């Protein structure tokens, strides 16, 4: 008995490892395509459900889809309502695992047939590079998954005379609730509803558990996934915590529907599924049906549901750095999205501060208080980017990261210039400086609503060119006026500093806006020439 139990547990472990390896290989194979596809496909709640379902079924990881969606919300590329629809779809997508196990593992019995995939896949991962290595890793995981399934089935079969349906709670409402609790515990321990589901299918195939009991356990496993997700959001960003709560509410209410479906499914649907492995197919079907019904019930109320979750989980902490969630650091693409989102927020705030400083006649205390908050946010963002720097990052996320670093550098420099009080005051001393300051302020104000999208890049480029042309002429004229004793040398120096201040501010806001435009372009999957990212002027 002990050896059979160890065999079943070892099979469960192999299944978990296989699932993890396969998912990792598929994610490496997809690269940033997952993020791009999710963004492009999610335009309405219905398309979000479809995207979440398909991508979760392909990648066999609802957590990967959820984290990517959170990153896109933080980047401002998806609304929370769209993310909620993706979560709905991910719940349907997770049911694909049950079908793979039931059809390929129990119906077709591919355990032995896929054994060659393990050494071949491992070899491809060891000697291959790029996509070949990722394909090999995914295939090795696929093979391990079925080896683990065979071991579980063999161990369970040997235990069938010891563990029977009578060993579990009776098929009553109270008994089913107990089995739901068992399913929750199994998922909480294994950190994988897929592994728990595979164990339930193996137990069902061995006759150790009856179909209604297995259904109740699967309902619990569906709820158990939300515990893992909720714990992962503790201390996370607002978007992450909202996502976790939405997942919990949706799965708990779906579980209520599912409990009501057990008798109907057992009496009317399961008997109509014939052939070997019919109960496994019935369990997989039940898993899909109750998740799909839950989505159908919730889908018309997606917007209202999202508003409720937003109300239950309001924004907290510093607004400028709210997207910087350390829980996203494990996913380079999502972490880069969070970094870029924070930079957009700081850009909008710093542009607004710079605009207020240009109104004259003297900077206000309120502006400097806001500036102090920006400096704190810039430092927090720098530390977050530092944590990202050691991890692997390539493709479009790398382009976004590089542009984010350029933008962050210019934000630090622009914030520093906004502290140069004497130079700012000097702008009111001269008619030309007043006029150019007004032009600069007008450009900033016209872009305040769209600063986060880099929409003002061309406007700021023109402003930079204008001020550079005026700089030399103004310099010569100012020096000549000082020579003629129209004002003293100190006043001349302050006027020249004021002109230089305007020119440098224009340059910084242009480069910030340029890099934000690059971030947006790259985020939509468009190519950006690397040479365009290089700054051509010093500070």
Is it the case that residue 264 has pLDDT exceeding 80? Answer: yes
**What span, in angstroms and rounded, lies between the C-alpha atoms of 404 and 452?**
12
Overall average pLDDT of the 213-226 stretch: 87
480 or 376, which is more confident?
376
Is it the case that residue 451 has pLDDT exceeding 50? Answer: no
**What span, in angstroms and rounded, lies between the C-alpha atoms of 289 and 292?**
5
Q: Give the highest mean pLDDT range of 57-66, 101-110, 173-182, 408-417.
A: 408-417
Overall average pLDDT of the 180-191 stretch: 82
Residue 330: predicted pLDDT: 75
Answer whether the bond into residue 361 is a cis peptide, omega within 30°: yes
Q: Which two tokens stand for residue 427?
A: 């702008």
Residue 71: predicted pLDDT: 72
**What span, in angstroms and rounded, lies between the C-alpha atoms of 24 and 61?**
9
Please state which of the ranges 41-50, 344-353, 465-474, 508-517 shows the lowest mean pLDDT. Answer: 465-474
Please state which of the ranges 45-49, 263-267, 293-297 shows the lowest mean pLDDT. Answer: 263-267
**Residue 508 and residue 457 in contact, taking contact as beta carbons nearer than 8 Å:** no
**What span, in angstroms and rounded, lies between the C-alpha atoms of 223 and 381?**
35
- Interval 351-406: pLDDT, tens: 999 988 888 655 567 888 899 999 999 999 999 998 886 666 666 677 888 899 99
Q: Could you give the C-alpha distances from 284 to 97, 101, 175, 218, 371, in angstroms and in order? A: 9, 9, 21, 10, 57
Is it the case that residue 531 has pLDDT exceeding 50? Answer: no
Where does the pLDDT of residue 108 fall: very low under 50, low under 70, confident under 90, or very high at 90 and above?
low
Where does the pLDDT of residue 452 fall: very low under 50, low under 70, confident under 90, or very high at 90 and above?
very low
Residue 107: predicted pLDDT: 63
Q: What is the 3-state secondary structure (H, E, C) of 195-223?
A: HHHHHHHHHHHCCCCCHHHHHHHHHHHHH
149 or 513, which is more confident?
513
**What span, in angstroms and rounded, lies between the C-alpha atoms of 44 and 21?**
32
**Residue 144 and residue 14 in contact, taking contact as beta carbons nearer than 8 Å:** yes
Global confidence as pTM:
0.71
CATH code 1.20.58.220 region(s) in the chain: 326-533
Residue 146: predicted pLDDT: 80
Show Cβ contacts of residue 36 under 8 Å, excluding neighbours closer than 6 positions: 396, 524, 525
Three-point CA angle 226, 13, 158, nearest 5°:
110
Average model confidence (pLDDT) across the chain: 81
Q: Give the highest mean pLDDT range of 410-414, 458-462, 515-519.
A: 410-414
**Residue 83 and residue 239 in contact, taking contact as beta carbons nearer than 8 Å:** yes
Residue 364: predicted pLDDT: 65
Superfamily of domain 326-533: Phosphate transport system protein phou homolog 2; domain 2 (1.20.58.220)
Helix (H) or strand (E) holding 450: none
Residue 381: predicted pLDDT: 93
């Amino acid at each position: 008995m002990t050896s059979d139990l160890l065999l079943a547990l070892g099979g469960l472990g192999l299944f978990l490892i296989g699932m993890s390896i396969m998912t990792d290989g598929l994610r490496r194979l997809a690269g940033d395509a997952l993020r791009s596809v999710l963004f492009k496909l999610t335009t309405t709640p219905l398309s979000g459900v479809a995207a979440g379902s398909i991508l979760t079924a392909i990648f066999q990881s609802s957590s990967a889809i959820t984290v990517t969606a959170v990153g896109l919300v933080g980047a401002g590329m998806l609304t929370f309502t769209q993310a909620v629809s993706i979560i709905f779809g991910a719940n349907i997508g997770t049911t694909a695992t049950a079908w793979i196990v039931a059809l390929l593992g129990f119906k077709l019995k591919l355990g032995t047939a896929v054994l060659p995939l393990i050494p071949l896949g491992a070899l491809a991962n060891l000697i291959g590079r790029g996509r070949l290595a990722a394909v090999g890793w995914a295939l090795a995981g696929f093979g391990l998954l079925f080896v683990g399934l065979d071991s579980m089935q063999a161990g369970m079969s040997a235990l069938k005379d010891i563990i029977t349906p009578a060993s579990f709670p009776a098929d009553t409402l109270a008994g089913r609730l107990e089995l739901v609790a068992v399913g929750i515990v199994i998922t909480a321990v294994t950190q994988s509803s897929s592994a728990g589901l595979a164990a339930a299918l193996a137990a069902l195939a061995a006759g150790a558990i009856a179909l209604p009991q297995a259904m109740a356990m699967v309902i619990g496993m569906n709820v158990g996934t939300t515990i893992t997700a909720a714990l992962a959001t503790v201390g996370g960003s607002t978007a992450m915590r909202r996502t976790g709560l939405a997942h919990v509410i949706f799965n708990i209410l779906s579980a209520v529907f599912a409990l009501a479906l057990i008798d109907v499914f057992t009496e009317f649907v399961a008997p109509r599924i014939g052939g070997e492995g019919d109960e496994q197919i019935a369990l997989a079907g039940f898993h899909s049906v109750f998740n799909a019904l839950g989505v159908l019930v919730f889908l018309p109320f997606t917007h209202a549901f999202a508003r409720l979750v937003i109300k239950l989980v309001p924004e907290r902490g510093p607004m400028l750095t709210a997207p910087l969630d350390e829980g996203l650091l494990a996913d380079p693409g999502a972490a880069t999205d969070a970094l870029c989102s924070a930079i957009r927020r700081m850009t909008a705030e710093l542009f607004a501060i710079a605009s207020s400083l240009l109104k004259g006649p003297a900077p206000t205390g309120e502006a400097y208080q806001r500036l102090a908050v920006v400096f704190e946010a810039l430092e927090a963002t720098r530390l977050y980017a530092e944590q990202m720097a050691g991890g692997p990052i390539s493709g479009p996320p790398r382009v976004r990261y590089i542009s984010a670093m350029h933008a962050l550098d210019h934000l630090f420099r622009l914030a520093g210039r906004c502290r140069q009080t004497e130079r700012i005051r000097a702008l009111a001393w001269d008619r030309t400086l007043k006029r150019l300051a007004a032009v600069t302020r007008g450009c900033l104000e016209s872009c305040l609503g769209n600063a986060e999208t880099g929409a003002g890049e061309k406007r700021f480029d023109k402003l930079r060119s204008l001020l550079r042309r005026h700089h030399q002429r103004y310099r010569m004229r100012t020096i000549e006026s000082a020579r003629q004793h129209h004002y003293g040398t100190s006043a001349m120096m302050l006027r020249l500093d004021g002109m230089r201040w305007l020119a440098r501010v224009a340059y910084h806001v242009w480069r910030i806006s340029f890099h934000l435009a690059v971030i947006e372009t790259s985020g939509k999957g468009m190519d950006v020439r690397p040479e365009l990212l290089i700054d051509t002027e010093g500070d």
